């Protein structure tokens, strides 16, 4: 009973005393969409919201179907992932039934998670293998930038070697650790910028 009492108190605090128990964050959210192509149209549920690189406020109401497109490139469609706002459960626990129904209708009960996406576009004339290698290099670089940086500092390492293998592919003479070091310095180890630098080495 004591545990339930504490949980109920926390839930009550979460809704911040709202009379109708609606979600404080509302039905809109800031998301970011990056791409290997600048100036590509960013369309959410059929409505253009901007161009890449995009950072802006969008409605959470809808299916969350993202389209990124530009002339000369194959259009990419992505289903944005949604999760339940934790505060919504506070609404239910404290008896905010009417507010909860409103939140579902407005989209406020959900949040786009993750709220940042990288959507690479394939050139119409680009081979699938080349496109996939560039995507793999960017993804690996962005996810493991910290570990790659540590390997570069030590002069070698599994993550550095894996990145070099992706970047070089079948080339006998290709990119070496010094080029990766320059890419890290040029990007200040920012994941998105480092990914761009690495793809530029291919």
Cα Rg of the chain (Å, integer): 22
Q: How far is CA 68 from CA 43, 52, 110, 136, 171, in A?
A: 6, 8, 23, 19, 32
Question: Residue 73 carries which DSSP code?
Answer: B
- What is the pLDDT at residue 16? 41
Q: Is the per-residue pLDDT at 13 higher than 90? A: no
For residue 123, being part of any structural domain is answered with: no
Verify that 48 and 112 share a domain, yes or no: yes
- Per residue in 104-160, pLDDT tens? 343 344 466 678 888 999 999 999 999 999 999 999 999 999 999 999 999 999 999
Verify that 19 and 53 share a domain, yes or no: yes
Verify that 17 and 96 share a domain, yes or no: yes
169 pLDDT band (50/70/90 cuts)?
confident
Verify that 78 and 140 share a domain, yes or no: no
Verify that 76 and 149 share a domain, yes or no: no
Identify whether the C-beta of residue 175 lies closer than 8 Å to the C-beta of residue 141. no
Verify that 64 and 17 share a domain, yes or no: yes
Identify whether the C-beta of residue 52 lies closer than 8 Å to the C-beta of residue 26. no
Number of domains in the chain: 2
End position of a domain, from candidates 93, 118, 143: 118
CA distance 44 to 57: 11
For residue 99, being part of any structural domain is answered with: yes
Verify that 17 and 47 share a domain, yes or no: yes
Note down the domain range covering 140: 128-199
- What is the pLDDT at residue 52? 94
42 pLDDT band (50/70/90 cuts)?
very high
- What is the pLDDT at residue 83? 65
- What is the pLDDT at residue 28? 82
- What is the pLDDT at residue 60? 78
Verify that 185 and 104 share a domain, yes or no: no
């Amino acid at each position: 009973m004591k545990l339930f009492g504490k949980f109920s108190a926390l839930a009550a605090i979460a809704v911040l005393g709202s009379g109708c128990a609606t979600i404080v964050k509302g039905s809109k959210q800031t998301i970011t969409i990056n791409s290997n192509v600048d100036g590509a149209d960013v369309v959410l549920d059929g409505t253009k919201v901007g161009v890449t690189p995009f950072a802006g406020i969008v409605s959470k109401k809808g299916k969350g179907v993202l389209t990124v497109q530009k002339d000369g490139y194959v259009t990419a469609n992505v289903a944005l992932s949604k999760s339940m706002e934790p505060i919504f459960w506070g609404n239910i626990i404290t008896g905010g039934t009417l507010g909860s129904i409103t939140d579902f209708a407005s989209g406020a009960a959900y949040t786009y998670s993750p709220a940042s996406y990288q959507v690479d576009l394939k050139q119409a004339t680009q081979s699938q293998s080349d496109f996939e290698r560039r995507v793999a290099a960017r993804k690996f670089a962005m996810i493991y930038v910290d570990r790659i940086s540590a390997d570069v500092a030590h002069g070698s390492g599994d993550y550095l070697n894996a990145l070099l293998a992706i970047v070089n592919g079948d080339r006998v003479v290709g990119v070496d650790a010094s080029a990766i070091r320059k890419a890290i310095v040029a990007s200040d180890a920012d994941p998105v910028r480092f990914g761009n630098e690495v793809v530029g080495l291919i």
